[in-house]
A and B are shown apart, each in its own frame.
Chain A
């Protein structure tokens, strides 16, 4: 059986290529039919924010790329209720269908996966 991998994405979409490179790991894993999960944590939740204007920074829209996750078979998508609250983001206004977890839920999530990469 394949080992499961959780990717914890902690950077906002505008601070360099890290958010995109975390996503690329998830998409590559999905392309190989591996059991991949992705957790948006801390400033990583800004990736889920709608109504961003990346073009003003001459950037591509990462939010559009995130929509590829389910198409690549990566449907285990999570975020932290606390991270959202701390940054004033509303769960109804996210650009991706993610499961919200409290702190205990995060602990259980990480424990459930064989491997973890944090970027």
Chain B
């Protein structure tokens, strides 16, 4: 089965960890992830500036490793990210911001990517909505 996974909650929210574990279980079960789409406060999970204490779960690092090793399509909504200070190099330069905090494997793009993934997937599974 093809899954699209949307994350709306920040990295410190329980639903962010659940989203990652669900995504891992999807692949472990032999299913496919069409795309991960981070929206609202979910964009913070793609920030390289989130530092976890050494004895705590490094969720943003785990997400990054997971997306990279599984070669997943990890899309971060550009409008939501800009609003929250999550910028790639191009956007940081465009807005003359101090520094970029979003790198590969993550990619900034628009909400059309969420709709496209929803169309391609058998199931859309959302984490952290209200």
Query: Which A residues fall within an 8 A CB radius of B?
Result: 2-3, 5, 10-11, 17-18, 21, 24-25, 28-29, 31-32, 34, 115-119
Q: How far is the CB of B56 from chain A (nearest CB, A)?
A: 26
CA distance A32 to B126 in the complex (A): 21
Q: How many residues of B contact A (CB 8 A)?
A: 18
Known: A18-B40, A21-B39, A28-B114. A11 touches B119 (CB 8 A): no
From 98 to 122 in chain B, residues with beta carbon under 8 angstroms from any chain A beta carbon are 110-112, 114-115, 118-119
Binding site for A on B (CB under 8 A): 6, 8, 39-40, 79-80, 83, 110-112, 114-115, 118-119, 124, 126, 129-130
Question: Can you show 16 pairs from A to B with CB atoms below 8 A apart?
Answer: A3-B119, A5-B118, A10-B130, A21-B80, A24-B111, A28-B110, A28-B111, A28-B114, A29-B115, A31-B112, A115-B118, A115-B124, A117-B124, A118-B129, A119-B8, A119-B40
> Using Cβ atoms and an 8 Å threshold, which residues of chain A touch B6?
117
B residues near A115, Cβ cutoff 8 Å: 118, 124
Asked if A21 contacts B40 (CB within 8 A), the reply is yes
Residues in B neighbouring A32, C-beta threshold 8 A: 112, 115
A118 B124 Cβ-Cβ under 8 A = no
